[in-house]
Structure 1
Amino acid sequence: MEDYETEHFEEKILNDLSSITLKKGAINPSLFTKYEVKRGLRDTDGRGVLVGLTEIGDVHSYILDEGEMIPVPGRLIYRGYDITDLAKGFMEDGRFGFEETVYLLLFGNLPNKKALADFKQLICTYQRLPENFARDIILNAPSKDIMNGLARSVLALYSFDANPDDVSVKNVLKQCIKLIASFPSLAAYSFQAYSHYYGNQSLVLHSPQADLGLAENILYMLRSNHKYTDLEAKLLDLALVLHAEHGGGNNSTFVTHVVTSTGTDTYAAIAAALGSLKGPRHGGANHKVIQMVENIKENVKDWEDDTEVTTYLTRLLTKDAFDHSGLIYGIGHAVYSISDPRAVVLKKYAAKLAHEKGLENEFNLYAKIEELAPKIITQYTNSNKAVSANVDFYSGFVYRMLNLPLEMFTPIFALARISGWSAHRIEEIVNAGKIIRPAYKNVEPRKKYISLDERG
């Protein structure tokens, strides 16, 4: 069979099989209501179905008053501490806070000066990758997607571990801290390989510096001249803190619990979480915010004109502009309604960086979209549900101001969230819960077997 005929045959068969799959795979939507299925593990009022307990993170967005959900300004709690207070503490001290936050998430308490210094030194010890790892694992098979490159590198590190399947708390803790420390190098090298082999850019790999924190090393390794301002590094550090944890119910953290409950190794569990975070419904939203705002900048002449901005935002909702999805990206959240505390904190410091870089006009455009979009959405949907800017709305803008490549936006999220994943993995192991296995009801009718010769 000639090549053309082979390709034609393959395409025809796959098209036919896809049509069958689409037709047969669709379940009658009414059955989900009939059997009271909690689709997405959420009740019809939007509340998550309680499937576990945790002491690590808490997302607070409403109070119950006589059974009615009353929205309140959002709060994010790490180990009992309000994220706003944590950020204020280290930012006002002029300190970096991510390593301190990692310590808090893993061990449940804020470290004193000696404990923090010891922990930072341990992270420094673990930052360098195994010898020849970058060449043999990352450069020899560069990935077109940095998240996939990260996942593959994490799985490859299994082979460099003398006790990879030891799930004792001490060993898992060591594995998790090593991964947290090595993620900046894994991500930076994966990007450099991508940039070289798929973007025809020069290949330059910088080793992490022992005297720099994780946020600083990210900028150091990604920038060819190694240079960055103190505010740039502090703001990236803050972004890592704000993305580090979001309760046990967010998709990638729940995946970590599910996979950990099987008894598998740390590398498999973290790779699974990376696969979850890669999905555009979870970790890739700030890409869309950047692209949407660029589209608005091109089509709105006067960024300060409320009427002109409102008109274009309405066109987004009516699917007449940008990607025709009907969404204003970065506005609204599955849990928060009145406000996302991460966005509130990040906006304050994003304004300072915008001033440093002469981007006040662009920051003001973001602020105007944040102000107008909720009103437009409420009017268009005829809903009383409050919506507000989420953390993705400003994080993408911050990363753009930091000159981080778009391909690194979700990996930066992963660099932060692995600290939360690690804490939840250890919590699942310590509590020795059962394997997580929710129920699915089969609604396919029983069938009588038909011999091959009798099938049409």
Structure 2
Amino acid sequence: LISDNVPLDQRTKMSILELEGSNIMNILARSVLEMYIFDENPEDTSKENLMRQSISLISRFPTIIAYAYNVYRHAISGRSLHIRHPRENLSLAENFLYMLKRDYTELDARTLDLLLILQAEHGGGNNSTFSVRVTSSTGTDTYSSIAAGIGSLKGPLHGGANIQVVDMFHHLQENIKDWTNKKEIDDYFKKMLNKEVYNKTGLIYGIGHAVYTISDPRALLLKELARDLAKEKKREKEFAFLELLEERAIEMFIKVKGDGKTVSSNVDFYSGFVYEMIGLPQKIYTPLFAMARIVGWCAHRNEELSFKGKRIIRPAYINSLDTREYTPLKERI
């Protein structure tokens, strides 16, 4: 069923080719909104139609992202333009890698498949999923609601975490002379936490999570595949360094912050390094997150529109100021 829906409508394909664009997330949102035009029944919110639309979106996200990146690469960097038609006998992860760059290994596809599963859903409270739910509660169409989720995920505070980890990792590779020296690593992390070096935010990216405090089960699973992938790509030294950084970052966070908090690495700590080893460009890291999370978005939308007593979501904003006497306009400074 998924394979049958992976190919794009010819008009969507031509739109990606002709309109181009410098941001893959914006192209993805635009393409999703265009799907409304080609849907014969876009406003129907019956369970059957919502499921049909969900399968269509899940199937076509990889194709849109792969084509959009290849068009971007051609338009901006002057590279050859490759538009590869998806193959029926491949999985979603395999088809994406084939359409994006043709060549990949079995482990590349298996690791990407795991990442898509790990990032598919994370509850209704994260910003993009809540955006999908709150817009769905108004009764709007599926494509408008999913475009809202894409717009939310595009924000660097939500969807760009693994890029920040990769950039930090590259910085540490350049600035730590001995990748096995715990004291040198600890000293540098202490300076980072005290806002003395790197970007002076006081953050160690990929460490800590609002929900997973003791451990992030997603990170544990991904770490083992990252280890296997590092062996295949002959990047064991970099993996060992990243693994040591994980250990020392947690230790130094507890020492420097000293607030009794328990922290762990999160899934972003290894995902960027994994994407690099597979040969995926940073330009599509956040779109890949959307490619995974579309499953969760659709599930939450379908749930939002299917339970009895559903009503519009209207978050409350509470004024935290003290009560004051009214001052007439002419008396205000």
Name the TM tier (shorter chain). Answer: over 0.9
Quote the residue 1:97 is aligned against.
none
| 1:396 pairs with 2:275 | no
Quote the residue 1:18 is aligned against.
none
Unaligned runs of at least 5 residues, structure 1: 1-121
Q: 272, 296, 299: which one pairs with 2:172? A: 296
| 1:435 pairs with 2:312 | yes
| 1:132 pairs with 2:11 | yes
- Name the SS for the 1:235 alignment partner: helix
Structure 2: distance between partners of 1:355 and 1:300: 23
Shift of 1:331: 0.5
> Which string of whole-angstrom CA distances, capped at 9 and with x for unpartnered residues, describes residues 78-127 of structure 1?
xxxxxxxxxxxxxxxxxxxxxxxxxxxxxxxxxxxxxxxxxxxx111111
Q: 31, 34, 59: which one pairs with 1:153? A: 31
Q: How does 1:40-439 map to 2 (within 5 A)?
A: 122-135=1-14, 137-223=15-101, 226-432=102-308, 433-439=310-316
Counterpart residue identity of residue 129, structure 1: L
- Name the SS for the 1:275 alignment partner: helix
- Name the SS for the 1:132 alignment partner: helix
Counterpart residue identity of residue 343, structure 1: A
Structure 1: distance between partners of 2:167 and 2:315: 38
Structure 2: distance between partners of 1:231 and 1:286: 20
Q: TM-score, normalised by structure 2?
A: 0.95
Q: CA RMSD in A?
A: 1.7
**Is the deviation greater in 177-186 or in 301-310?**
301-310
Shift of 1:361: 0.6
Shift of 1:447: 6.0
> Which string of whole-angstrom CA distances, capped at 9 and with x for unpartnered residues, describes residues 376-426 of structure 1?
111111211011100000111110100100011111111111001111111
Structure 2: distance between partners of 1:140 and 1:232: 31
Structure 2: distance between partners of 1:228 and 1:193: 20
Structure 1: distance between partners of 2:67 and 2:296: 23
Structure 1: distance between partners of 2:200 and 2:93: 36
Shift of 1:213: 0.9
Tell me which stretches of 4 or more aligned residues in structure 1 moved more than 4 Å. 442-450
Shift of 1:202: 1.8
CA pair 314-267 structure 1, distance change in 2 beyond 3 A: same
> Which string of whole-angstrom CA distances, capped at 9 and with x for unpartnered residues, describes residues 151-176 of structure 1?
11101111111111111111111011
Structure 1: distance between partners of 2:259 and 2:70: 46
**Is the deviation greater in 262-271 or in 278-287?**
278-287
Structure 2: distance between partners of 1:304 and 1:239: 28
> Which string of whole-angstrom CA distances, capped at 9 and with x for unpartnered residues, describes residues 7-38 of structure 1?
xxxxxxxxxxxxxxxxxxxxxxxxxxxxxxxx
Structure 1: distance between partners of 2:294 and 2:80: 30
- Name the SS for the 1:332 alignment partner: coil
Unaligned runs of at least 5 residues, structure 2: none
Structure 2: distance between partners of 1:160 and 1:455: 56
Structure 2: distance between partners of 1:334 and 1:209: 39
Which is greater in Rg?
A: 1
Counterpart residue identity of residue 330, structure 1: G
Counterpart residue identity of residue 302, structure 2: I
- Name the SS for the 1:140 alignment partner: helix
Q: How many residues align?
A: 329
| Structure with the largest fraction of helix | 2
Structure 2: distance between partners of 1:280 and 1:447: 41
Structure 1: distance between partners of 2:313 and 2:26: 25
Counterpart residue identity of residue 336, structure 1: Y
Structure 2: distance between partners of 1:407 and 1:342: 23
RCO greater where, 1 or 2, for CA within 8 Å and sep 6 or more?
2
> Which string of whole-angstrom CA distances, capped at 9 and with x for unpartnered residues, describes residues 279-307 of structure 1?
12211100000000000001111101111
Percent of aligned pairs sharing the same letter: 50
